[in-house]
Amino acid sequence: MPESTYIHVEYENTQSEDLLSSKQKKFFAILIPISFALDVFAMSVLKLQGGDATALIGGTAVFILIILTLFAHKQQGFEKITAYLIQGFQFGFKVFGPVIPIAAFFYLGDSGFQQILGNHLPKTS
């Protein structure tokens, strides 16, 4: 059988302690879906697409990260925000790193191949 191709990512200093109270957890469990629902509403009303819509969703996610981290870690909040952002970027590079060359070859197979190498091949090839 072939080996698994899953990527295993480990984080340093991971803890499983309760950082938020039960009321705070319930509040954020309601706030987060409402925030993204408001994003969807704003995108439809303002007709945001592409990069503008992506910026809205990304900004909302970062805002939620900041608020949750400040509530959970109080005095160490700003240091933890930085640590969480770094962990997120590291995870993104580990997961999407192999995808970039594959996507490059995929797009080269389109019209980019002729733009780079030219039309020097015989017509029968």
Say if CB 73 and CB 66 are below 8 A apart: no
Phi first, then psi: what are they for 73, rounded to 5°? Answer: -110, 0
**What is the tens place of the pLDDT at every residue in 5-24?**
666 656 666 555 688 889 99
Q: 77-96 and 51-73 helices cross at what angle (nearest 10)? A: 140
Confidence of residue 3 (pLDDT cuts 50, 70, 90): low
Q: Judge whether 103 lies within some domain.
A: yes
Q: Judge whether 31 lies within some domain.
A: yes
Structural domain boundaries, residue 86: 22-117
Half-sphere exposure of 79 (CA within 13 A, CB side): 4
- Is the model's pLDDT at 101 over the cut of 50? yes
Confidence of residue 104 (pLDDT cuts 50, 70, 90): confident
Look at the chain and report how many structural domains it folds into.
1
> What is this structure's pTM?
0.65
Q: Judge whether 53 lies within some domain.
A: yes
Q: 99-107 and 77-96 helices cross at what angle (nearest 10)? A: 50
Say if CB 64 and CB 88 are below 8 A apart: no
